[in-house]
Amino acid sequence: MTALPNPLLNGFHPDPSVVEVDGVFYLATSTFEYLPGIPIHRSTDFRTWELIGHVATRAGQLGVDGVPTGGGAWAPTIRHHGGLFHLVITDAMGRGMLHFTATDAEGPWSDGELLRKADGSGTIEGIDPDIAWDADGTCYITFSGLQLSGALDPNQPAHLGIQQVKVDLNAHRATEEPRSLWSGTGLMFPEAPHLYEVDGNWYLMIAEGGTERGHAISVARGDSPEGPFTGAPGNPLVSARSTPRPVQNTGHGDLVRGPDGQWLCVLLGVRPRSGTRAFSALGRETFVTPVTWSDGWPAVAPVELAPRPGTRVEIDFSEALDGEWIGVRRLPSEIAALEDGRLVLTADGSTLGDAQPVFVGRRQEHLTNEVTVRLDVAVGVGGLAVRYDEQFRIELEAGDGTLTARAWIGGLHQEWRHPLAGDRVELHLASRKPAAGGGLVSTSDVFHLGATVDGERVELAQIDGRFLSSEVTESFTGRVIGVYAVRGRIAVERWISEGNDE
């Protein structure tokens, strides 16, 4: 099999899970506080992936409207059984552990049923659920026993290791109390369990070591989905820690047979830059790597970097918004409308520092990237922004006769101003490699913020991109670039995004 492109999905697409149905592959990833939630990509060759829909497209399916930053849709598992697609996920600090179904992976998906404890007192407490069935049809939910509720210290929640319960899917209730399974080699945060039956053996694959540089994948084997499990002699099977590999944090994987029968592992990873490869601008992306078997054990190859060619996306808003547009704790349709070939946003008093801003955006997919938007700000104030979360963002704003560039870095705030004559303006937000110099390059990239007014390009600011990286923000997401309104109404007349990974 020739090498597959890597990343498989560019930009913020963590925690991948994949299933094959009749020669077609379906891949789901996490979305945290963004809506629509849980994108589903489809492929027949494992090279070209099409976004065909989302699981959470209606209010109430995910309870993310009030979740804190980093909460929401965590780590789906997608499977197919009994003529239905099944997806289980934890809506962290929201609704809880949920089970969705659909006859077609494009949707519509069900409203999501809570997976309750055996006594019915509440949802099964844990994250990263997996769903599997044995030959008798018994359903198993295997999950990471991270206790998010009632923790004395939110930075040190209790962790009960990898756990499992049998579940009655008709009642959506466990039929027993959670049992502890094999929890890895002793590294922190055993999570992301997946169960597989291969050639009469059951395999439990998990992530451990945390989703940072110590991230790893380990595997154990048993005679039953309930274990007992014995760890593979070569564990951990995957880890990029303490290596010079260009793809780091590799872990949280899912196994599948590829188009030619070759076993593959989809997993998350990051592409750090700087002299010490310290800053990952795009967050956690989806990668793929080959798997071979020997003596009844899988061996997972190190993840190789093989970026795709650059892309250009030009949108004139003459047609409905595609599925790549996302909002923060609100659906794009709740805060944006298409009117006469323009995308119109109406301010509601919120800013990008609020939990539910009037902001719709698209993931930054390339390490080198530039977005240009043409705005009409005759009756409003708004602009173009790159967001990691409420505390880490960059804004390029127009209106009321002023152009303003802002950097919000945690509790630090800086801004640059330039007069604006007229109501129409083109805004430019570029992410570029830092200029070569005599010393060690100590950042991932540099943001260049500018505008074109009456045919003249104005440069407002350059901002160090390291401050919007996953290592600095500690956000689980990635960069999302979009348009926003803070006063009145603004209209977006054109969007152009160009990028590459050179």
Question: What's the chain's Rg over C-alpha atoms?
Answer: 23
Three-state SS at 466: helix
Decide: 261 and 273 in contact? Cβ < 8 Å: no
Cα dist. 496→240, 362, 457 in Å? 35, 12, 16
Q: Which helix (H) or strand (E) holds 471?
A: helix 470-473
State the pairing for strand pair 201-208/216-222.
antiparallel
Closest residue by Cα to residue 462 from 480, 481, 479, 443: 443
Give dist(CA 397, CA 394) in Å, integer: 10
Secondary structure (DSSP) of 129-165: EEEEE-TT--EEEEEEEE--TT-SSTTS--EEEEEEE
List Cβ neighbours of 407 (8 Å cut-off, separation of 6 or more): 394, 413, 414, 415, 461, 463, 467
Active site residue 15: yes
397 is catalytic: no
DSSP state, 367?
Answer: S
The span from the CA of 140 to the CA of 400, in Å, is: 59
Encode burial over 440-458: b for 16+ CB neighbours within 10 A, e otherwise. Answer: eeebbbbbbbbbebeeeee
Strand spans (E) along 275-367: 285-294, 297-300, 311-315, 326-328, 336-339, 342-346, 359-363
**Given 128, 191, 254, 426, the catalytic residue:** 191
> Quick check: helix, strand or coil at residue 75?
strand
CA atoms of 210 and 189, how far apart (whole Å): 5
Q: Which helix (H) or strand (E) holds 6?
A: none
Question: Rounded to an integer, what distance in angstroms lies between the CA atom of residue 104 and that of residue 101?
Answer: 9
Residue reference for tokens 């599925």: 323
Counting Cβ atoms within 10 Å, is residue 20 exposed (0-12), middle (13-18) or buried (19+)?
Answer: middle
Task: Tell me which residues are annotated as active site.
Answer: 15, 191
